[in-house]
Structure 1
Amino acid sequence: MMGALRIIKPGQTIGARSYAPIAEHGLIGNLRSAALVDTGGTVSWYCPGRFDAPSVFASLLDPDRGGLFRIAPAGHGWTARQLYLPDSAVLVTRFLGDDGVAEVVDFMPVTGRAGDTPDLLVRVVRVVRGELRLEVRCAPRFDYGRATHTLEHEGDAAVFRAPGRTLRLDSDHKLTPDGEDVTAVLDLAVGERAWFALSGGTSDGIPRRVAVSEVDGRYRSTLDWWHRWVSASTYRGRWRETVMRSAITLKLLTYDPTGAVVAAPTAALPEQIGGERNWDYRYTWIRDASFSVHALLRLGYVDEARRLFRWMAARPNGMDGADGGSLQLMYRVDGSADLDEHILDHLGGYRGSRPVRIGNGAAHQLQLDIYGEFLDAIWTTYQSGGGRLGTSGWARLCQLADWVTAHWDQPDEGIWETRGGRKDFVYGRVMSWVALDRMVRLAGMLGWPAQSAGWAAARDLIHKQVMAKGWHPGKRSFVQAYGSEVLDAALLVMPLVGFVSDTEPAWLSTLDALGEALVSDSLVYRYDPTASPDGLRGHEGTFSMCTFWYVETLARAGRLAEARFVFEKMLTYGNHLGLYAEELGLHGEQLGNFPQAFTHLALINAATTLDAYLDTPDHRRPADLA
């Protein structure tokens, strides 16, 4: 895949006091945390140790106060390209100019071996043509830029100290103090290289020195690790490179100690430039995790699905509280539930988009759909042989089903986490039906004690209610909420979960109505906030996950040529590395937190569904999608 083309014009600063577009970033990670590297050679986002830890580099949100680690050619007029080494998460940023060509290779070794430095970010610079000068600047800003730090420097090593945190930078070249930061100048000819290894940042202990032999060894072992992981996939479809890049991205968003998958590695990237829709996505949503199970299983990653299954099955700790079997909407990657939302007033926000939020106040919203997604993932994993239920686990699931039976018939905040008040959202009712339907099926398969009759009765009541109150005769469509005329892209899930048939008239009419109201040149909006106020100012772009849902429903409805065209067209909106944010703006620009797990798992599901239909004689419904 060709890399991004970025022309650095005379007088333009590379990645220092300007905001690189969201799309001009690549992702690296070590299955504990992740970093974004832009096409100007700047590490603009990095939270050592854990996805939701305080940042040390956050120039993505404020070039002046956020901190950065930049390696770029001196002077101006360079062209930059960026690519991944095939089947890996090793990122290469190339600088091409009249005097030569340089490459910056960025990676974070996957940890696990005894004696390994756990939090390590490695940058290797090499010149492949000519000779040139590169400038290096490492300027950490601890605790989202709120904490001051001191510098201890000796030759080719620097130690940055902040309260409770220490970060070490090692190199094979001289580092020069600049206040409490360090710089370096590299004069390299073809065949020469330099390296920088950043370690620590999670405690006040000084990490041990990193040697050149370790840099070389970790580079090779990191490539080998990713090659082995990719080769374990069973996917052999038409879009292998695209699908596997999405799979690698999902893996990079996985917190290995628990198996939890974060929604995105970033916080506060805006859904509208200059607007207030800026959220922290560095947590694990029950919904996102549940959908991830399906995508992983489709690619043959049973172990990943099983670990996520175990993490999810351990989450209903709310059962010990007053609310019985209720779930929290999202959790931290370690399973803890404290996600209080705070505003970082000192940061300017991406291109002035404020407030900058950390934490997420939506954690305590009532969203009834999460129970359906959760129990559908448990059912799918169990049915595929990827999960095992014990009697204690079954008892916990029964409590969840009992809770849904008692609470499904009430307004909630809905899948899109609106802050405009609760409504009787159709999607929440549909997924409540899914929750009880899957539990009835599990009970029948296991033969264990269960209130199956009560669950089945509630399930049937929900279905009848949605068909009566969720359908709008004038619109000839299901609608967002009871008594509303607003359409909602979440309805695209109805046939995917079996609530309606793929080809029944009521659904085909709904699909046409959604296409007319929410689809713009193949891209899908979630809903119209002017018609259905969500409690927030401004507007948003099209929602990329919904576009991939649209692809699936078109294929299932028999509109296969249209589905394939929409899918292929959507692939043109990915960035130069095949990565997607949450949304796409009016001009196709990436908006929202980046990259987003929801978008990439939906891409995987859309691709595998299309493959299944295209591989079936006469494009009939594939047996494995029945």
Structure 2
Amino acid sequence: MPDYPLIADHGLIGDLQTAALIATDGTLDWFCAPRFDSPSIFGALLDPERGGRFAIQPTTDDYTAKQLYLPDTAVLITRFMTAGGVGEVVDFMPIDGDEKRHRLVRLVRCVRGEMAFSIVVSPRFDYAREPFETRMADDGVVFEGARTALTVRLIREPTDRRAEARVDNGDVHAELRLSAGEVRGALLETGVGGPLDAVRVDEALRLFDETVDFWESWIGRCTYTGRWREMVNRSAITLKLMTYAPTGALIAAPTAALPEQIGGERNWDYRYTWVRDASFSVYSLLSLGFDEEAWALGRWLRDRVDEQTDKSGGGPLQIMYRVDGSSDLTEEILPHWSGYRGSAPVRIGNGAAGQLQLDIYGEAMDSIYVGGRNGLAPGHQGWLAIRDLLDWVAANWSQPEEGIWETRGGRQDFTYGRLMCWVALDRGLRMAAEHGRPAPLETWRRERDAIYTEIMTRGWSPERQAFRQHYGTEVLDSSLLRMPTVGFITPGDPRWVSTLRAMEKELVTDSLVYRYDPAASPDGLQGSEGTFSLCTFAYVSALAASGELDQARLTFEKMLTYANHLGLFSEEIGLTGEQLGNFPQAFTHLALIDAAVTLDRELDRHPRAAARRHTVMAAR
């Protein structure tokens, strides 16, 4: 099998419209342009032989590599230490708002001694389906296909000798030798062709300074001052990197088809905006003081609601959309790609987009409600669209659905979907009362109360003494950790306490939390999966809300040890601690922020002596 870097052995850079992953060995192995959901330009992450890469590495194999972010920025530094010297590759994408042209700067510098770097540029347009021609000049190279163009301009001084480079089957190979203090490199531009000219070192350093200033200024707006500031700030920057600035949409992850199980088929495309993720984001962003981002995301959500009202008079929403709000996410398989470590099929697009998932209405309404209490209340037309949406929920909450985890095993009466329909109607009733808005209050109240009664009867398992995944099973589901968070049940209610204990016994392993047991609840897919990082952070919040502060804090601290070297999390954690699934995942970082804010609040509210204590030996 070809040599793949670990999923966790990557850092993320971006320009708020697209992003790139760079491995600890200096290889840029995932980059799509001009948008997150565009076809790939470099895709070696999913097929090292056919995917394409841009590698900058020492010419010797005897080196040690380290990677870090420049503090409070999205500027990534990959350091190489050899017997002859120390060198760095500094990667960043300038933020300029241009939707057609995207730039990626790779500064190469020698810090100590001397170092020779090997450079290989081998793009593969449109998932390696679009042929291209290579045109090389003294100051760079152009790769040009029928629909895609990539220009690589050298960063150099006027007195430099002509670069030693050659073209081999369309790929460019070069070598760069530097002494201490020298800086050179390359600037990639997508969407442009034409004449090539070099980029002077001073100009590249100016772009570096501007990019650093942007990120330091942005994170400087963060109002979080709690115990885990470094991790929260890194999560906030990561979420910003996954935000499509022209519309405010937040993608679930910048990658596609990274597996939930090595060699398995659970390989999905996450480069889209889920209504659920976007809704959670509004609350998280507001909790950190990022009102502008929360407002933009809330506007994106309201636009989807308004569009649906214009089309059909209200609901159902699609569960996910492209970053521009379009709804075509046709799923296809790339049979010519091997997949990460042989994990096929490689899927692009997402066939789950058309699923019925009732929980999204509660999450959307909860975010709109929270936004309204923070100065983001909808206007008249927005309220009419919300009213139409809630009328649909009131009439349709009782139908079977696919559920939050997008299983492909058929529709069920999922308890979490019912719970969030309760939230949708409850928040609508509150908004109508608080703002004096016209609404069919009796209908909404009647249906909200009917949902409550049904969950307490059919959603409750007397045998398990716990709330169940759906009405036709005894399986537990960690999505229900949100029951007290949304106000459906109090943290001290005996039914909730026994549910939490049952989850701990069955779904929690060394503080990590599974979504559910696939063996006990067939989901229409082969194979297994790791623990779900979102659920672990939700477990922290649930413990904190229940007053189990020592256990909540220990669980949170243990979970932080599973982050990669840069503080980034993928979707899942495997049996031996490896990161699995698409990377980095917005949902995980949102949940980290929420857990940190919740835990900080509860720790500040209750003196440590009053907190319920659990010893390390009793840790679950």
TM-score range, shorter chain: over 0.9
The question of whether the paired residues in 2 share the 8 Å contact of 1:163 and 1:204 is answered with: no
For residue 499 of structure 1, what is the aligned residue in structure 2? Answer: 488
Q: Which string of whole-angstrom CA distances, capped at 9 and with x for unpartnered residues, describes residues 479-527 of structure 1? A: 0001310000001011110111011111011000000010011000000
Q: Aligned to 1:59, which of 20, 44, 58?
A: 44
Correspondence 1:447-486 to 2 at 5 A: 447-486=436-475
Q: Aligned to 2:21, which of 27, 36, 53?
A: 36
Structure 1 runs, 4 residues or longer, greater than 4 Å off: 203-211
Q: 1:323, CA displacement in angstroms?
A: 6.9
The question of whether the paired residues in 1 share the 8 Å contact of 2:8 and 2:564 is answered with: yes
The question of whether the paired residues in 1 share the 8 Å contact of 2:313 and 2:388 is answered with: no
CA distance in 2, matches of 1:517, 1:422: 24
Distance 1:210-1:323 versus aligned 2 partners, 3 A rule = farther
Which structure 2 residue ranges, 5 or more long, are not aligned? 157-161, 612-620
**Aligned residue pairs: how many?**
602
Bigger mean CA offset, 69-78 vs 276-285: 69-78
For residue 293 of structure 2, what is the aligned residue in structure 1? Answer: 304
CA distance in 2, matches of 1:112, 1:214: 19
Letter in 1 for 2:293: E
For residue 616 of structure 2, what is the aligned residue in structure 1? Answer: none
Q: 1:139, CA displacement in angstroms?
A: 0.5
For residue 104 of structure 2, what is the aligned residue in structure 1? Answer: 121
Q: 1:177, CA displacement in angstroms?
A: 2.1
For residue 387 of structure 2, what is the aligned residue in structure 1? Answer: 398
For residue 168 of structure 1, what is the aligned residue in structure 2? Answer: 151
Q: Aligned to 1:588, which of 567, 572, 577?
A: 577
Q: 1:148, CA displacement in angstroms?
A: 1.1
The question of whether the paired residues in 2 share the 8 Å contact of 1:168 and 1:206 is answered with: no
Q: Aligned to 2:247, which of 237, 258, 262?
A: 258
CA distance in 1, matches of 2:286, 2:314: 31
For residue 194 of structure 1, what is the aligned residue in structure 2? Answer: 184
Q: Which string of whole-angstrom CA distances, capped at 9 and with x for unpartnered residues, describes residues 400-439 of structure 1? A: 1000001000110000000000000000000000000000
For residue 279 of structure 1, what is the aligned residue in structure 2? Answer: 268
The question of whether the paired residues in 1 share the 8 Å contact of 2:140 and 2:197 is answered with: no
Distance 1:205-1:481 versus aligned 2 partners, 3 A rule = farther
Asked if 1:556 corresponds to 2:545, the answer is yes
CA distance in 2, matches of 1:88, 1:485: 47
SS of 1:527's equivalent in the other structure is coil
Q: 1:211, CA displacement in angstroms?
A: 4.4
SS of 1:553's equivalent in the other structure is helix
For residue 617 of structure 2, what is the aligned residue in structure 1? Answer: none
For residue 141 of structure 2, what is the aligned residue in structure 1? Answer: 158
Q: 1:92, CA displacement in angstroms?
A: 0.3
SS of 2:87's equivalent in the other structure is strand
SS of 1:278's equivalent in the other structure is coil
Asked if 1:359 corresponds to 2:349, the answer is yes
Distance 1:196-1:17 versus aligned 2 partners, 3 A rule = farther
Letter in 2 for 1:549: A
Q: Aligned to 2:123, which of 140, 151, 154?
A: 140
Q: Aligned to 2:91, which of 97, 101, 106?
A: 106
Q: Which string of whole-angstrom CA distances, capped at 9 and with x for unpartnered residues, describes residues 1-32 of structure 1? A: xxxxxxxxxxxxxxx95100000000000000
Q: 1:212, CA displacement in angstroms?
A: 3.6
User: Identity of paired residues, percent?
Assistant: 56
Asked if 1:346 corresponds to 2:339, the answer is no
SS of 1:576's equivalent in the other structure is coil
Which structure 1 residue ranges, 5 or more long, are not aligned? 1-15, 622-626
Q: Which string of whole-angstrom CA distances, capped at 9 and with x for unpartnered residues, describes residues 35-83 of structure 1? A: 0000000000000210000001000000010000000001212110000
Correspondence 1:318-397 to 2 at 5 A: 318-322=308-312, 324-385=314-375, 387-397=376-386
TM-score (ref. length: structure 2) = 0.95
CA distance in 2, matches of 1:430, 1:62: 41
Q: 1:451, CA displacement in angstroms?
A: 1.1
Q: Aligned to 2:210, which of 201, 206, 221?
A: 221
For residue 91 of structure 1, what is the aligned residue in structure 2? Answer: 76
Q: 1:322, CA displacement in angstroms?
A: 4.3
Q: Which string of whole-angstrom CA distances, capped at 9 and with x for unpartnered residues, describes residues 181-220 of structure 1? A: 21211111111121100001x4677788644443121110
CA distance in 2, matches of 1:365, 1:388: 29
Letter in 2 for 1:412: E
CA distance in 2, matches of 1:136, 1:565: 45
Q: Which string of whole-angstrom CA distances, capped at 9 and with x for unpartnered residues, describes residues 297-346 of structure 1? A: 11010110000000100002222334732210000000000000000001
Q: 1:178, CA displacement in angstroms?
A: 2.4
The question of whether the paired residues in 2 share the 8 Å contact of 1:31 and 1:251 is answered with: yes
The question of whether the paired residues in 1 share the 8 Å contact of 2:105 and 2:187 is answered with: yes
SS of 1:270's equivalent in the other structure is coil
The question of whether the paired residues in 2 share the 8 Å contact of 1:26 and 1:36 is answered with: yes
CA distance in 2, matches of 1:390, 1:206: 50
For residue 435 of structure 2, what is the aligned residue in structure 1? Answer: 446
Q: Aligned to 2:58, which of 43, 68, 73?
A: 73
Q: Which string of whole-angstrom CA distances, capped at 9 and with x for unpartnered residues, describes residues 557-587 of structure 1? A: 1110000000000000000000000000000
CA distance in 2, matches of 1:306, 1:322: 26
CA distance in 2, matches of 1:209, 1:527: 55
Distance 1:147-1:206 versus aligned 2 partners, 3 A rule = farther
SS of 2:268's equivalent in the other structure is strand
CA distance in 2, matches of 1:413, 1:483: 14
CA distance in 2, matches of 1:375, 1:182: 52
Letter in 1 for 2:122: A
